[in-house]
């Protein structure tokens, strides 16, 4: 019976007496809850004054009374349940003793022990996992029942705090591995099951498929050889973290001690590949003492030189990943001891006296705060929850809150100072619009980790980083309000200017398109027209449908929309793409002369960034680092960023497959494609886009097409490649020519295949032996007239026949003849008809389709359409093979998508490469790789680009298109200085030309033979010393 029912005051003695004299377990549970409420009401100090925990543990260890053991354990369970977290520092030391009671002979005692540990562990803060863990692991040294219980609680803790358990795996794995080898089968089985579940916290998609194999190897060390051989076939792509290494290192250590070269060789390769993907130096550094001795022994004693070389490379990678031999790291870490000393300073400064009994609470709080700093968590609510409840019994609650605020501000300031690498500016440079800390992930990949975004009014920030770093993803996240701490749209207006119009074939006029924008509904059409006129849209251009605009004008339309929104911050994603030189200059002037606008810019145009940027924001180790000044100033401070200025392919190498021989083309200067007097008008347009254009190309052509936006450059390219059919004039091309085409809106090639990987896309595109993109062209699709043409009766050799299909092709003088199958006649009546005759009859598309099929078949005859060959091909255009095989196209960056399109275009060994704005989305190094590949390739290249540096470096011939007319063709000197290797290249060329033999003409060779013959006859008649024949005589 409860003391309250007896009318007596509640005391500790009364409650404890009631606890041990309860008649049933249910009564004892009720009293234990009341005991918990009593402690919660009186405060934690009562645990000391009344020695409650000591007395309960005395009951729990009373070997003579099972009732007292159960009562004591239920009392502990009640306090843990009701008081919760604040009691944990005082209850954790009891866990090993309680786990021992899991082996008690009495079932009630075992159940009470299990409940007590369950309640204690439920009250443990996830950031105190590292504090509670040693008490659990201590339980694995007892009897077998205690070991099983400890393993069960370990598994539950992993479910509750997976990240924290992941960090503790280096301590956990050896203990659980020992349990796997326990002589008691039940313990071994439980340990294997728990280890398998613990592996789920690793979170590495490359290692997860092998977790069962790794656990099996821990349980059976003799399986090392099989495990290493299996894992050596794995391609590691994902970032490798501490938990992943904790799982792999035990295997590596065992394998490095193996004497077999068949085991050691793949082991050092695995180690090398793993540590190349480690981004956090402390993750690698903690395993150096285990791995270095084995690697050093192999380097010194391995008999095979290759293994010694591989081990040396693996050691170098390990040391680099760990931050050097002394494991230096720039990660901000504060130990629990340092935090404790800082808390003591606060208590002394605030004249707060702390009873020694509360030392466990202070130590516990210091440990939790140390973990929060390690995880870079600096949120006020989290710090209050980690400090205030645990110290409110020791000091007043307002004092506890002051302590939490002090520690948070103190260590947050130190953390920010430790992360500060560049220049963040001050108030003199403009009002602070945004200062927030956030993390950003995309597709399971961490792009930015707890970094800081600082934006000031009137500043123009250039975002710089390699393709795939997450520049556009950050801009998109800001525009959608998904960046933690970034002000909302009603406080800070942002406008995201990107290329989302490029694939749109809208029927709305330009004015109607803007008027329909949800953010501009309050504006009249007159306001919209005025803004459009300001950015260069005259009345005719405003009336055009959006789908008829060129890429440059679509970009200006997006800029006009942003201006109408009157945004405080412009988010510009590749704003100069498709803009001609004049419009780029206009954009520079607009940004520089509007100091009220803040800009965040992603661009690969180094000149543009130089002209507009006041800060460069650089991606470094998943952080944003600020550098004051433009791109030039940034390169002065970071010379390794020189690739932003030169077309250098320092780390990105592109290689294009050589074009095959074209039948009848014996000279690189002979025409392979001609367009004569071509005129084209878009449907619904009032006037032609191209007038009477005549051009021709050969294999040696390197042509740059330049002109203003909307002048007709892309239209001319589409006419050349067969995307469009001219209403007047003709387009001729060699029947066997294969053309690789990368469109201005390059992504339109991929829009229907976003779920595929790049490798799968190329397999789809070329399966069946033909390029499916070619089959989609307007020149290949059968119109009603073409279908009617197939029904036309032709007269041949006195007979009236219908053409069914073409079956073959062979050379006929300077042209071809085709094997024609007639409708209703067997194959023995097939006839060979000259190409010109078929064209005269009107079967243009039938002949063209057959030529395309033959050309494609010939191109693919050089390649095997299998994943391994495709992977190698994709790697040759700068996209890592692991991304090509594993990442869906939807998750790739803009630059990576361009590489996929380029790889697909080059798959069937084309003779001619057509690039419409090839520099869009490619970073500087990729641009350098592309430039070098084009320079060294043996096929024809025609490109449209407003990147003057790129065109001048590659194209000696320029075609100027203006108002639909090809107004000028000129030959210019190639700007070799735009390449970093220009000096070396020129030196090689001079050396080559000086040593090259001059090829004699036929007449010169005859004359030389006459001279030699005369000299020989003279020697025969006169005798004497014979003059030797030389190449120059």
CA distance 403 to 389: 12
pLDDT given for residue 364 in this prediction: 92
Burial 114-125 (b: 16+ CB within 10 A, else e): bbbbbbbbebbb
Do residues 471 and 449 lie in contact, with contact meaning Cβ atoms separated by under 8 Å?
Answer: no
How far CA 723 is from CA of 98, 718, 753, 889, 931, in Å, comes to: 79, 5, 20, 24, 25
CATH number (1.20.120.420, 3.50.50.60, 1.20.1390.20, 1.10.3470.10) of 336-419 reads: 1.20.1390.20
Residue 708 confidence (pLDDT): 78
Both tokens of 661, joined, read: 């021989």
Number of other residues whose CB lies within 10 A of the CB of residue 804: 14
Strand order in the sheet with 957-962: 739-742, 912-916, 940-944, 702-706, 957-962, 965-971
Q: Cα–chain-centroid distance for residue 210?
A: 24
Residue 75's nearest CA partner among 103, 115, 107, 40 is: 115
pLDDT score at 566: 81
CB 396 within 8 A of CB 426: no
What's the topology of domain 671-754+888-978?
Rossmann fold (3.40.50)
DSSP-derived secondary structure for 756-779? S-HHHHHHHHHTTSS-HHHHTSTT
Q: Which CATH class is domain 432-493+567-645?
A: alpha beta
Residue 468 is predicted with a pLDDT of 66
Residue 977's φ and ψ, nearest 5 degrees, are -65, -15
**Taking the alpha carbons of 622, 625, 630, 632 in that order, is the dihedral positive or negative?**
negative
Q: The whole model's pTM is what? A: 0.60
List b or e across 439-478, with b for residues whose CB sees 16 or more CB atoms inside 10 angstroms: ebebeeeebbebbbbbbbeebbbbbbbbbbbbbbbbbbbb
d(CA 383, CA 131): 17
Q: Are the CB atoms for 87 and 81 separated by under 8 Å?
A: no
Per-residue model confidence (pLDDT) at position 504: 45
Sequence ranges of the domains in the chain: 336-419, 432-493+567-645, 503-566, 671-754+888-978, 1001-1033
Mapped onto helix, strand or coil, the DSSP state of residue 289 is helix
Low-confidence ranges of the chain (pLDDT < 50): 1-4, 502-505, 649, 982-995
Q: What is the pLDDT of residue 502?
A: 43
**Calpha distance 112→73 (Å, rounded):** 6
Fold equal for 336-419 and 432-493+567-645: no
Question: What's residue 652's pLDDT?
Answer: 65
Token reading at 992: 């080559």
Residue 151 and residue 179 in contact, taking contact as beta carbons nearer than 8 Å: yes
pLDDT at 296 (0 to 100): 92
DSSP assignment string, 928-979: HHHHHHHHH-SSEEEEE-S-HHHHHHH-SEEEEEETTEEEEEEE----GGGS
Smallest CA-to-CA distance from 619 within 455, 464, 446, 484 is with 464
Instruction: Report the candidate in 514, 633, 639 with the shortest Cα–Cα distance to residue 564.
Output: 514
- Specify the pLDDT at position 122: 92
As given in the structure block, the two tokens for residue 361 are 């609470």
């Amino acid at each position: 019976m409860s003391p309250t029912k007896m009318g007596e005051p509640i005391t500790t003695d009364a409650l404890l007496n009631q606890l041990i004299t309860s008649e049933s377990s249910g009564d004892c549970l009720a009293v234990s809850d009341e005991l918990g409420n009593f402690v919660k009401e009186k405060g934690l100090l009562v645990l000391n004054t009344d020695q409650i925990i000591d007395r309960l543990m005395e009951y729990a260890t009373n070997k003579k009374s099972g009732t007292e053991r159960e009562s004591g354990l239920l009392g502990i369970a009640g306090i843990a349940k009701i008081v919760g977290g604040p009691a944990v520092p005082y209850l954790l030391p009891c866990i090993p003793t309680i786990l021992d009671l899991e082996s008690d002979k009495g079932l009630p005692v075992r159940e009470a022990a299990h409940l007590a540990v369950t309640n204690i562990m439920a009250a443990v803060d996830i950031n105190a996992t590292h504090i509670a863990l040693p008490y659990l692991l201590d339980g694995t040294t007892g009897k077998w029942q205690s070991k099983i219980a400890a393993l069960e609680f370990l598994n539950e803790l992993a479910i509750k705090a997976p990240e924290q358990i992941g960090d503790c795996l280096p301590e956990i794995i050896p203990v659980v591995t020992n349990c796997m080898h326990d002589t008691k089968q039940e313990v071994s089985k439980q340990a294997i099951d728990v280890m398998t579940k613990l592996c789920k916290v690793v979170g590495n998609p490359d290692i997860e498929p092998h977790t069962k194999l790794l656990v099996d190897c821990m349980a059976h060390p003799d399986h090392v050889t099989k495990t290493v051989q299996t894992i050596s076939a794995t391609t590691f792509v994902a970032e490798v973290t501490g938990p992943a290494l904790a799982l792999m290192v035990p295997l590596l250590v065992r394998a490095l001690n193996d004497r077999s070269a068949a085991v050691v060789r793949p082991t050092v390769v695995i180690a090398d590949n793993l540590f190349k993907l480690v981004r956090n130096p402390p993750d690698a550094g903690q395993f150096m003492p285990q791995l270095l001795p084995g690697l050093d022994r192999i380097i010194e004693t391995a008999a095979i030189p290759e293994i010694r070389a591989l081990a040396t490379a693996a050691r170098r990678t390990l040391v680099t990943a760990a931050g050097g031999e002394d494991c230096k790291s720039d990660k901000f870490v504060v130990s629990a001891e340092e935090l404790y000393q800082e808390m003591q300073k606060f208590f002394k400064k605030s004249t707060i006296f702390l009873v020694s009994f509360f030392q466990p609470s202070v130590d516990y709080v210091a440990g939790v705060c140390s973990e929060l700093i390690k995880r870079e968590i600096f949120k006020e609510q989290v710090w209050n929850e980690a400090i205030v409840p645990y110290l409110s019994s020791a000091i007043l609650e307002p004092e506890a809150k002051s302590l939490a605020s002090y520690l948070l501000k103190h260590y947050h300031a130190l953390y920010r100072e430790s992360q500060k690498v560049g220049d963040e500016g001050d108030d003199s440079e403009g009002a602070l619009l945004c200062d927030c800390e956030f993390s950003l992930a995309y597709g399971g990949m961490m792009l930015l980790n707890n970094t800081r975004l600082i934006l000031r009014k009137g500043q123009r920030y250039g975002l710089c980083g390699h393709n795939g770093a997450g520049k556009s993803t950050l801009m998109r996240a800001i525009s959608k309000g998904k960046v933690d701490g970034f002000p909302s749209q009603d406080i800070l207006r942002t406008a995201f200017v990107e290329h989302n119009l490029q694939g749109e074939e809208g029927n709305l006029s330009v004015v109607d398109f803007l008027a329909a924008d949800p953010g501009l509904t309050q504006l009249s059409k007159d306001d919209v027209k005025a803004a459009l006129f300001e950015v260069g849209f005259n009345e005719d251009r405003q009336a055009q449908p959006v789908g008829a605009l060129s890429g440059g004008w679509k970009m200006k339309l997006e800029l006009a929309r942003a201006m109408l929104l009157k945004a405080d911050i412009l988010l510009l994603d590749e704003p100069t793409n498709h803009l001609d030189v004049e419009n780029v200059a206009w954009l520079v002037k607009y940004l520089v002369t509007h100091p009220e606008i803040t800009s965040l810019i992603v661009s690969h145009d180094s000149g543009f960034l130089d002209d507009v940027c006041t800060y460069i924001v650089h991606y470094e180790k998943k952080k944003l680092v600020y550098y004051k000044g433009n791109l030039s100033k940034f390169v002065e401070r970071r010379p390794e960023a020189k690739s932003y200025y030169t077309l250098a392919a320092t780390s990105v190498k592109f290689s294009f497959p050589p074009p095959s021989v074209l039948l009848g083309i014996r000279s690189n200067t002979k025409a392979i494609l001609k367009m004569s007097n071509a005129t084209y008008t878009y449907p619904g347009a009032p006037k032609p886009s191209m007038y009477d254009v005549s051009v021709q190309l050969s294999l040696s052509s390197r042509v740059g097409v330049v002109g203003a936006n909307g002048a007709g450059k892309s239209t001319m390219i589409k006419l050349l490649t067969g995307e469009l059919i001219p209403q007047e004039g003709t387009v001729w091309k060699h029947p066997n020519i294969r053309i690789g085409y990368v469109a201005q809106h390059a992504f339109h090639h991929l829009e229907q295949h976003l779920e595929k990987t790049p490798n799968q896309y190329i397999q789809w595109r070329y399966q069946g032996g033909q390029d499916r993109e070619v089959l989609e062209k307007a020149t290949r699709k059968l119109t009603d007239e073409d279908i009617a043409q197939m029904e036309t009766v032709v007269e041949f050799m006195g007979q009236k026949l219908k053409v069914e299909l073409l079956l073959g092709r062979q050379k006929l003088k300077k042209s071809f003849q085709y094997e024609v199958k007639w409708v209703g006649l067997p194959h023995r009546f097939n006839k060979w008809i000259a190409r010109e005759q078929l064209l005269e009859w009107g079967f243009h598309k039938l002949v063209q389709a057959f030529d395309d099929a033959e050309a494609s078949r010939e191109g693919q005859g050089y390649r095997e359409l299998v994943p391994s060959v495709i992977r190698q091909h994709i790697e040759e255009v700068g996209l890592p093979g692991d991304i090509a095989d594993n990442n869906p196209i939807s998750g790739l960056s803009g630059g990576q998508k361009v590489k996929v399109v380029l790889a697909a275009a080059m798959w069937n060994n084309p003779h001619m490469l057509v690039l419409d704005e090839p520099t869009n989305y490619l970073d500087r190094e990729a641009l350098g790789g592309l430039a070098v590949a084009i320079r060294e390739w043996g096929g024809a290249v025609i490109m449209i680009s407003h990147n003057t540096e790129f065109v001048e470096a590659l194209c000696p011939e320029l075609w100027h298109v203006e108002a639909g007319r090809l107004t000028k063709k000129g030959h210019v000197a190639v700007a070799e200085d735009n390449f970093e290797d220009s000096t070396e290249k020129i030196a090689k060329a001079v050396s080559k030309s000086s040593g090259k033999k001059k090829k004699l003409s036929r007449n010169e060779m005859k004359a030389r033979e006459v001279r030699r013959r005369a000299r020989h006859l003279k020697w025969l008649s006169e005798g004497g010393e014979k003059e030797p024949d030389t190449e120059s005589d």
